[in-house]
Structure 1
Amino acid sequence: MSGQRVDVKVVMLGKEFVGKTSLVERYVHNRFLNGPYQNDTAGSERYESMSRIYYRGARAAVVCFDLTDSSSYARARFWVNEVRNCEEHCKIYLCGTKSDLVQNDRNARGVDYHDVQDYTDEIKAKLFETSSKTGQNVDELFQIVAEDYLNVTAFQVMTEGDAVNLAEKKKPTYLFGCCHQ
């Protein structure tokens, strides 16, 4: 199984300018580019109906919000509902971006951590606070997305007769692509 390629559709959702492109850039190329970035259709309200096509078939959704912008968190909740209504088996990962800004200035935080954690528990999702600028929790986020997918897939294909202690098996090497508009 080592070296096996695993393809899974992972979508990045969230309001414009919350840092979706920066998150992918940090993960894929291990760099942070100071914008400006081109507007992103996945985050634009005017492309909402088209977005349903974008996340059709997704197995994971990283729903981003800017930790300094409460309106982006409200919008993230919208995206969670959209994904849940269209892709019931899609696993949700809430991602608060720009954590470097709130670490440097606690007054900059526009989204209460405990409120987000309560919501995360309610929807049975996972929460990450990331910084694309510093790299904080970016690799961890995508690592968990990949591991969760592999664990669910392994569980689905196992039968009673060949149940194995997965903890003792060597984990496969895997690659996955992020769908991002």
Structure 2
Amino acid sequence: MEEDYVFKIVVIGDSAVGKTQLLGRFTRDEFFLDSKSTIGIEFQTRTVDVARRRVKAQVWDTAGQERYRAVTSAYYRGALGAVLVYDITRRRTFEHAARWVDELRAHADKSIVVMLVGNKADLPRAVSADEAAAFAEEQGLFFSEASALSGDNVERAFLRLIEEIHANVSRKSLAAAEGVDGRGYGAAADVLLLKGTKLSLAEEISIMETSALKRASSCSCT
């Protein structure tokens, strides 16, 4: 079956917080004890049903090491959602969350939906859930704790994010169709591009160019 939408989601956070393991648990229900650090960018996909629509989540796993930050920042473009991961057993990774939020706001679309996830919830904690929830509320993020090892709450966290992205896209599409922002149907081009679009590393530039052409075409017809 064809998908109705493709949502690009980035998973970010410090190195060794379990980003790849969370992604593997969500997309393939797998966990590997000998997982190695991600080099650069990788992505995996999973298709889910949201509000009677088939949505393919294309989740990009970004390296957390400092030497890759300049490379990975370019790939925030086009992301509709982000999973910001910290390790509840390592307080430093939580303290760095604010820096990751700043980076998102500098490089990603202002309407991006962000889920803060405290991974390794099956282990003794160094960060309380209340403290993390307060930070998420202050920053306007959604929040969940999860365990990639046991699988607890992983599915729920990702599905909640996807549902919120779908709701956000639906609101933007409706507002554009009603001409709320003054640009009329031309403003819907970015949303309409999601339908059936297959994003990949090789196609990223082509997709962005296509989006620009669609915006220009839509504007010229209104």
- Superposition TM-score, scaled by structure 1 size: 0.79
Identity percentage of aligned residues: 28
1:85 shift after superposition: 1.7
1:128 shift after superposition: 0.9
CA distance in structure 2 between the partners assigned to 1:36 and 1:157 by the alignment? 40
* Structure with greater strand percent: 2
* Shift in CA distance, 136/178, structure 1 to aligned 2, threshold 3 Å: farther
Question: CA offsets per residue over residues 99-153 of structure 1, 9 Å max, x none?
Answer: 111xxxxxx2111222211110111110010111111111111111111111111
The more displaced of 39-48 and 111-120 is 39-48
CA distance in structure 2 between the partners assigned to 1:178 and 1:64 by the alignment? 23
Please say if 1:121 is aligned against 2:137.
Answer: yes
CA contact (8 A) 1:9 1:177 kept: no
Question: CA offsets per residue over residues 146-181 of structure 1, 9 Å max, x none?
Answer: 111111111222256xxxxxxxxxxxxx999999xx
Q: Which runs of 4+ in 1 moved over 6 A?
A: 174-179
The more displaced of 38-47 and 146-155 is 38-47
CA contact (8 A) 1:9 1:176 kept: no
Structure 1 spans left out of the alignment, 5+ residues: 102-107, 161-173
Q: Secondary structure at the match of 2:96?
A: helix
CA contact (8 A) 1:10 1:178 kept: no
1:8: which partner in 2? 7
1:62 shift after superposition: 0.4
2:204: which partner in 1? none
CA distance in structure 2 between the partners assigned to 1:177 and 1:10 by the alignment? 13
1:147: which partner in 2? 163
1:90 shift after superposition: 1.4
2:120: which partner in 1? 98
2:137 counterpart letter in structure 1: D
Question: CA offsets per residue over residues 47-77 of structure 1, 9 Å max, x none?
Answer: 1211211212211110000000011112222
Greater gyration radius: 2
1:38 shift after superposition: 3.3
The more displaced of 40-49 and 76-85 is 40-49
- Superposition TM-score, scaled by structure 2 size: 0.65
Residues matched between the structures, number: 160
